[in-house]
Structure 1
């Protein structure tokens, strides 16, 4: 069986305020062409299909067209909800969709609904599309399960998967939308502390026992083990995203299980470029020829902050999206971000409380709430 692992389509997301729907539609049409070219049996989408729980009409139309193209190309589709999706809205009419080869998995509390059985000449393949698991919601609904973190939630989910496998033998694939241990360290401009004490990180050992795990939530491709991978998003949605490549993993299963995994690239409609230097020098730099059509982030090193820098950049780079003034080497030390980056978020917030409460910092219950809130905020930012 041949599967294509994708994730994080984020239909409706903007890039620094610029619309991306047409570019995404173009890329997803190319994905349908890959289905034909490589004779793919099923396309997997591991969460965050939409960028918003309330997608606009044109975003619904864009997704509908993409799914129709993939089905017309000959592949079934197995799709799970992510933390950006409204599970109820995305999963509406799932029963009717299943009859047409579109399998929507959105019911976090109903493990029996996650299983999709596919088949090839070697027999059945059980695909378990685990929706995004929100620990707080699960804890409220399953108080006896002891769920306090993403790791606990995924442990509960994988226990359910293994129980189902006992009744439905065959090769097995899992879709999951989470942070898994072993992800590469974020780039310099991304948050360093994404766990805040271990919250929201799933150990790889919890994912053992199946032939392949298709992960979503990280927007750049990563290989955590031969059988556990992130595909990343089909478009760039942030300058923080590590890999320039966009695409998906072509997963081949033979009679014994995982046979091979190969990267299939998708066209990048607009490349990312980061340029650095004094504004006037950048505008005149011949070595930057060819980057005018890119999304551009400019890191300015002028001694004094340039006036109207973005307008001037757009005269050469119409798609300039971000500008940061770093200051020259002898500029005054004004970069508060650099100083704060050396301290944890909890320490910064505690200092603020000390300042506004006349020397009284966070007590232990407040500190616990802060740690969980900061963990969620950091996790959301890294997923961009």
Structure 2
């Protein structure tokens, strides 16, 4: 009963230039460490092979060190790894793959399926029909040759490809790297392991995208998984189990604040997010001065707990309450300034007024804490 681990879209070497340097380094490193976890899982489960459906590397020009580290990360699993090229790492005449081979970085158990030809693993009971990309974009279905490929009787027929299933993921009829949704039928495949779509998705019982094992964008399409695939015998329906393996979930939060209880609930939701998450927060609505102080304290705590926290508070209007002003002892001239800044938020230069009011409130609170007069 052959068992496979299906994964794709490692995109090792990806850069995260829009993040703070320490976060960018950690997230790039996570793309190596997730391969180590995949290798450990494959070894623990004693699978017959690991199928890697393209975009192993993020680009052709990754460093030699990155190439070596990727293959080193696979060491814990000594069974066959079967890897194809995708659109990011297409098998060009001169490519990241030819460089890896020149470096002698590819271990003997890593099978680079860079040409369209059957690879049989008779002792393990399966044959691989690969459709590697040999250029970044193609308008033809590179899996078409599967229909006529001959394999030894009694071996499972496993397709391995990278692209967009027509009519399901690619609405544009001119979409690149198309794959027929009927390929599993026309080619009599027992399973078709796909890459390119970064979330886990079942197309039909025999056709699956594993998604990227380490999430890399804010898109709720179930990333961060690998697939454990078991096929009892030729012609039997695959048994597919989704295994979560990612380290950094990416979470977008967009909230509107209107009353004080909204802020309390927001802080509770922030505190409830998993550690090491990559969080993007956008807030709109109204908040009091003291409420903003409370929010800033909560965000400071969250920044230390999350892998990365980005937030946009520009949609929040500061609305000091009478309690705010009383608590700040902002009477007389200072009270008048706060009132004027509150009014200016709604007009041109509102962001400057909002920032000025927050700074003024911070100064007043600091003076209070030090026992000084406002």
1:215 equivalent in structure 2:
194
Higher relative contact order (CA 8 A, sep 6+): 1
SS of structure 1 residue aligned to 2:126 = strand
Structure 1 residue 100 displacement after superposition: 1.6
Q: Deviations over 1:144-191 (max 9, x none)?
A: xxxxx2xxx21xx3342333316888421111100113646xxxxxxx
**For the residues of structure 1 that align with 2:75 and 2:213, how far apart are their CA atoms?**
18
For the 8 Å contact 2:12–2:66, the answer to whether it is kept is yes
Contact 2:199 2:212 in 1 (8 A): yes
The answer as to 2:245 corresponding to 1:263 is no
- 1:223 Cα deviation after fit: 0.3
State the SS of the aligned residue for 1:196.
coil
Q: Larger Rg: 1 or 2?
A: 2
Q: TM-score, normalised by structure 1?
A: 0.64
Aligned to 1:45: 52
- 56, 69, 72: which one aligns with 1:65: 72
Mark the CA change 1:77 to 1:320 in structure 2 (over 3 Å): closer, same or farther. Answer: closer
What is the deviation of 1:58?
Answer: 3.7
Match of 2:281 in 1: 298
Partner of 1:117: 120
Q: How many aligned residue pairs are there?
A: 292
Matched, 1:106 2:106: no
Tell me, in whole angstroms, the C-alpha distance in 1 between the residues paired with 2:66 and 2:264.
Answer: 37
Q: Which position in structure 1 is the counterpart of 2:131?
A: 130
Distance in 1 (alpha carbons) for counterparts of 2:41 and 2:237: 20
Would you say the 8 A contact 1:48–1:82 is kept in 2? Answer: yes
- Cα distance in 1 between the residues matched to 2:15 and 2:96: 21
Q: Identify the match of residue 270 of structure 2 among 284, 288, 299.
A: 288
TM-score by length of structure 2 reads: 0.66
SS of the residue corresponding to residue 9 of structure 2 reads: coil
Give the structure 1 partner of residue 332 of structure 2: none
Match of residue 165 from structure 1:
150
- Work out the CA distance in 1 between the residues paired with 2:38 and 2:276: 23
Counterpart contact for 1:91–1:105, Cα < 8 Å: no
Deviation of 1:272 after TM superposition, in Å, equals 2.9
Shift of 1:25: 2.9
Equivalents in 2 of 1:117, 1:181: separation in Å? 28
The reply to whether residue 317 of structure 1 matches residue 302 of structure 2 is: yes
Shift of 1:273: 2.8
Secondary structure of 1:64's counterpart equals helix
In structure 2, C-alpha distance between the alignment counterparts of 1:264 and 1:59, rounded to whole Å: 28
Q: CA deviation at 1:35?
A: 1.4
State the shift of 1:215 in Å.
Answer: 0.4
Cα contact 1:81–1:131 (8 A) shared by 2: yes
Q: RMSD of the TM alignment (CA)?
A: 3.7
- Aligned pair partner of 2:172 in 174, 196, 207: 196
Match of 1:239 in 2: 218
